[in-house]
Structure 1
Amino acid sequence: MNEISDSSNLEFEPLADSAIVYRALLRKQWIDRENNLVLFDAYLLRPNDRGLSLTIASVSSPEKCAANFKNCYGVASLQVGQIRELGLDAVPDSASHAEIIGLPYPKDDRDRAERLADLLAERSIIVWQHRQT
């Protein structure tokens, strides 16, 4: 895993376990619309990303989170404590943004990456979806 030191994270208070964060679902194939579920692909770390992008719910809404992207098909919520239960963390890097850190890249450890992604998806609740036309 690519670890990059970033001292700017130190200026933001750690998120409480009870804090809610949003994950923007930027691909149609990240959502099972029939069952209203997030699929594990939404939580796979992509090359060159060091963490998965999150919006901090206390300073945003699902609609505002979705509006930050040209194409957003849904927004899922997660509780920070549920992320930490998996040995991962949600670390803020601005007043409104955080990243899930500690995930392996699929190319480095596919089984662990998919298992953690699946566990994150199971803990996610879709709180906003783009209306299909």
Structure 2
Amino acid sequence: MSQFRSLPKDAVIYRALLRKQWVDEDTGRVKADAYFLRALESGLSVNLATVCSPEQCAGLFRKCYGIASLEVGDVRKIGLDVEQDSANHANIIGLPHREDYLAEAERLAGLLAKQSHIVWQPK
């Protein structure tokens, strides 16, 4: 049981875009690649917008190519959830690994990418 309350549906979360190929240079949109779980992850790392600005979130990483925002309610609408695990951090949970369920992992990553908006990019 988490020590944190369930996040409200209008809570905003930030996904740090840590690879250049996660951003479509032609459209300026987030690619689905930004929303795939890595092998040993159980959830997709996100930061809480109530605790850090997009710039502060980007500053947590050595190299960051953008910050994408999502609303928790939109994540829940596609059957996933966001679980807070520290004061400024949460995980998108319920995503399958590509190795286990490729089609479902691609479908959900695509839906998350469509819902997200880039709110910060380096100059």
In structure 1, how many angstroms separate the alpha carbons of the residues matched to 2:121 and 2:20? 10
Report what 2:79 is aligned to. Answer: 87
Map 1:23-42 → 2, pairs under 5 A: 23-42=15-34
- TM-score, with structure 2 as normaliser: 0.98
Alignment deviations for residues 90-123 of structure 1 (CA, whole Å, 9 cap, x no partner)? 0000110000000000000000000000000000
Report what 1:3 is aligned to. Answer: none
How many residues in Structure 1 have an aligned counterpart in Structure 2? 123
Alignment deviations for residues 24-83 of structure 1 (CA, whole Å, 9 cap, x no partner)? 000000001221100000000110011000000011100000000001000000000000
Matched, 1:11 2:3: yes
Report what 2:90 is aligned to. Answer: 98
Q: Which amino acid aligns with 1:101?
A: I
Map 1:1-133 → 2, pairs under 5 A: 7=1, 10-131=2-123
Taking only the aligned residue pairs, the percentage that are identical comes to 54
In structure 2, how many angstroms separate the alpha carbons of the residues matched to 1:34 and 1:41? 16
Q: Which amino acid aligns with 2:99?
A: K
Structure 1 stretches of 4+ moved >3 Å: none
In structure 2, how many angstroms separate the alpha carbons of the residues matched to 1:36 and 1:103? 24
Question: What is the alpha-carbon root mean square deviation over aligned residues?
Answer: 0.7
**Secondary structure of 2:67's match?**
strand
